[in-house]
Structure 1
Amino acid sequence: MDKTMMYALLAMVIAGLATAEIASRRYRDTVRASANDTTLELLMTISLLVVTQPVLLLATDALGQWLAPGLRDAWAGLPWWAWGLLLLVGDDMTQYWWHRISHSPLLWPLHRAHHSAAYMSIRITYRNNFFYYLMMPGLWFSGFMVYLGCGWEYFAYVALKQTVILGAHCAWAWDEPLYRMRALRPLMWIVERTISTPATHRAHHALTNADGIGHYKGNFGNLLFFWDILFGTAHITRRYPAEVGLRDDQLFGEERWDKQMFYPLLQSQREYTALKFGGKIYSDE
């Protein structure tokens, strides 16, 4: 699998999930996106694919050539399963921890944009602050793995991971009908403890934890939900929160897309905001 094939496969996955969102009427019934939301989501998706990922691949290649020129493609002979394990630990597990610490006061402003959407849809998958991805350790690690000789295995891994992540954000909860099938209950018990699903990920996006479903201080896994099981942050209910988003946006109005995308270079004027130095972060707990 090369880069072109990976993008083609992802385009097919996105098209399929978008069709499911529309055909199930979940997009029509639940997605209430403003022009502000659309601008943020569109620009962040483009910047990640066109700017951040290519820049990081070029940067890691240049650093590798500078610091260790003899190691270019030195690990090219590794079997596919070895690359898979390296990427799962070096990319997906580190992203779990990056995501987890991004819910701390210091880094929350870089991740807040992802939670400010008051709906679930594939369109919010890459909705984040620009610097959130630029600083993500797993993307830098992946770049060095490519320098060391990870070829088609990297693109296959990315295609698989993005399919799971897009599915977890989908407005149509693909896991919901499967939970109702008695014959599939043992399989779904394994699935929901292995990969991120709409049920577990929506709990992470929940507006509140008060209903026993929401769990926005856990369920941090991206490809593998197993990291939440392993590190004690999992919450599985097979139910879906009634609302997602942020309470402070409900009370004080949504933050402008440019402040969400380019903080700390641009800062909010709201009283209760995480997007300015010294701002008060609203909490209803």
Structure 2
Amino acid sequence: MDIRVYMMWVTAGAVLVLLAEVVTGRHKGVYKARGEFPLLGLNMAIGRFLIGPLMAVFVAAVWGFFLPRFAGSLSAMPLWLALPAVLLFAEFCFYWVHRWAHEGVKKRSLLWMIHRTHHSATYMNVSVWMRLNVFWYIIIPNAWTMGLAIYLGLPEAAGIAIVLIAVWNIVTHSNFRWDDTVRRHKVFGPAFRALEHVIVSPGIHHTHHGFGKDGASYRNFGVMLSVWDWVFGTLHIPEGRPWRYGLPGHNAHWLEELAYPLVRIGRPRAD
């Protein structure tokens, strides 16, 4: 499969969802912070289109250097087994790096200070998916786990996993909250809540971006699978939407949020 073609379709889908959010008024008045649009635009230009492709080349070189004898060693694994294995492994690695980032809030750890950009948005819509510090593209585990899967001979499984995770990011960051109705349904609600122990719903991820009632940024660290949150005791299934989105206190300057630790300006956040 040509992952570039599929990702073009995913990107087109994200743009359509974004446009639908705008048309239905879900972006009205939410971009109140100065520098919000430059932050989003430069992240796409520098992170997605520059650092992202460079990381793909770098990761391939790293795995080739450290595991020279294992290239293609898993190529005989059937797709039905390789795909769930890649997804579970990728989500496990992401879960722990993501959790460590949030556990560094009080100490203002480097990992948290880079990741905070994704959480300082006071709104929730598809654009938050791309609201990242540019150095997160280097740290994010998916670049490393998917690169490893491709190097070991599982390019099809890795390609499908990359697309599935990207699509699910669009679903869980979107402002369209279809899951609220399902969760409250007398018949389907209990089954949906059971499913949320395995699959990340929009509600589970929105809760992770909030604080106050039904906000829990210290819970729900999975992207697509909530099974690791369930296993390690960090799963929170909400009753509704969080009281507020974002982080308590003052946000850093948008340039700092874009490129910390290279750029450090503005007053510190009261974490």
TM-score, normalised to structure 1, is 0.84
Q: Tell me: CA distance 1:67–1:240, structure 2 relative to 1, closer, same or farther (3 Å).
A: closer
Q: CA deviation at 1:25?
A: 3.0
**1:20–1:172 CA contact under 8 A, matched in 2:** no
Q: CA deviation at 1:33?
A: 4.6
Deviations, residues 152-171 of structure 1 (Å, cap 9, x unaligned): 22121111111112211111
Q: CA deviation at 1:35?
A: 5.2
CA RMSD of aligned residues (A): 2.2
Q: 1:116 aligns with which of 107, 114, 120?
A: 120
Amino acid in structure 1 at the alignment position of 2:130: Y
2:44 and 2:201 mapped to 1: Cα distance? 21
Pairing of 1:3-14 with structure 2 (within 5 A) = 3-14=3-14
1:85 paired to 2:84: yes
1:225 and 1:16 mapped to 2: Cα distance? 26
Q: CA deviation at 1:264?
A: 1.1
Aligned residue in 2 for 1:279: none
1:72 and 1:58 mapped to 2: Cα distance? 15
Q: Structure 2: which 5+ residue stretches go unaligned?
A: none
Q: Tell me: CA distance 1:244–1:49, structure 2 relative to 1, closer, same or farther (3 Å).
A: same
Aligned residue in 1 for 2:209: 205
Larger deviation, residues 228-237 vs 186-195:
186-195
**1:199–1:237 CA contact under 8 A, matched in 2:** yes
Q: CA deviation at 1:100?
A: 0.7
Q: CA deviation at 1:70?
A: 4.0
1:164 and 1:238 mapped to 2: Cα distance? 21
Pairing of 1:22-61 with structure 2 (within 5 A) = 22-28=22-28, 31-34=30-33, 36-61=35-60
Q: Tell me: CA distance 1:226–1:66, structure 2 relative to 1, closer, same or farther (3 Å).
A: closer
Aligned residue in 2 for 1:182: 186
Pairing of 1:191-230 with structure 2 (within 5 A) = 191-206=195-210, 208-209=211-212, 211=213, 213-230=214-231
Amino acid in structure 2 at the alignment position of 1:241: P
2:201 and 2:156 mapped to 1: Cα distance? 26
Aligned residue in 1 for 2:244: 243
TM-score, normalised to structure 2, is 0.88
1:4 and 1:268 mapped to 2: Cα distance? 37
1:75 and 1:42 mapped to 2: Cα distance? 39
Q: CA deviation at 1:63?
A: 2.8
1:163 paired to 2:163: no
1:171 and 1:269 mapped to 2: Cα distance? 30
Q: 2:130 aligns with which of 118, 126, 133?
A: 126
**1:96–1:221 CA contact under 8 A, matched in 2:** yes
Aligned residue in 2 for 1:278: none
2:179 and 2:23 mapped to 1: Cα distance? 16
* 2:240 alignment partner, SS class: coil
1:68 and 1:111 mapped to 2: Cα distance? 29
* 1:71 alignment partner, SS class: coil
Aligned residue in 2 for 1:139: 143
**1:125–1:166 CA contact under 8 A, matched in 2:** yes
Q: Tell me: CA distance 1:98–1:118, structure 2 relative to 1, closer, same or farther (3 Å).
A: same
1:178 and 1:78 mapped to 2: Cα distance? 37
Q: CA deviation at 1:138?
A: 3.4
1:41 and 1:160 mapped to 2: Cα distance? 23
Deviations, residues 171-207 of structure 1 (Å, cap 9, x unaligned): 121312323443422431233222222211121111x
Q: Tell me: CA distance 1:11–1:236, structure 2 relative to 1, closer, same or farther (3 Å).
A: same
Q: Tell me: CA distance 1:73–1:33, structure 2 relative to 1, closer, same or farther (3 Å).
A: farther
Q: Tell me: CA distance 1:13–1:182, structure 2 relative to 1, closer, same or farther (3 Å).
A: farther
**2:215–2:243 CA contact under 8 A, matched in 1:** no
Q: 1:256 aligns with which of 238, 253, 256?
A: 253
Amino acid in structure 2 at the alignment position of 1:63: V
Work out the number of aligned pairs and report it: 266
Q: Structure 1: which 5+ residue stretches go unaligned?
A: 274-281
